[in-house]
Structure 1
Amino acid sequence: MTIQNKRILASVLFVLISFACVAQQPPPPGPPPPFGFPIDGGVLLGAVFALFYGVKKILLKKED
């Protein structure tokens, strides 16, 4: 098989797979989350970690 034939075959397969993906129906939406549902507990932990890391970097930079 030549390079040209491989490219044509790959292009045809890509188009066929694209049509198959578009033809699928999306899943039905789930129930809404309860009122006051928190975003994530890891967000607060990440913000605290970032704050301590930034303070540490600033303090080490001042010492140099």
Structure 2
Amino acid sequence: MQYSRFCFLTLSLGLCLLSGSALAQGNPGSGGPEPGQPTAVPIDGGASLLLAGGAAYALARLRKRR
């Protein structure tokens, strides 16, 4: 009983001490695109990989069906 209470207290204290470093963002406005500016998103590589994977899966299913 004492061991489980000690572990609980140790873990609770550790989580409380480490929770300050888990902030998502320090300053508002530090990063991200500005409103009104277009952003370049490279979707060509990922989309072509998904398309090739879908085609391969479809061919495999068609061959299995025959």
Please give the TM-score of this superposition, normalised by the length of structure 2: 0.58
How many residues align? The count is 60
RMSD of the alignment, in Å?
2.9
Q: Deviations over 1:33-56 (max 9, x none)?
A: 34xx43241321221221232122
1:5-49 CA-to-partner distances (Å, cap 9, x unmatched) read 121111111122112323861682155634xx4324132122122
Select the structure with the greater relative contact order (CA < 8 A; seq sep ≥ 6).
2
CA gap 1:39/1:18 in 2 versus in 1, 3 angstroms: same
Q: Which residue of 2 aligns with 1:28?
A: 30
Q: Percent identity?
A: 25
| 1:9-28 aligned within 5 A | 9-22=10-23, 25=26, 28=30
Any gaps of 5 or more consecutive residues in structure 2?
Answer: none
Q: TM-score, normalised by structure 1?
A: 0.59
Unmatched runs of 5 consecutive residues or more in structure 1: none
User: What secondary structure does 1:2 align onto?
Assistant: helix
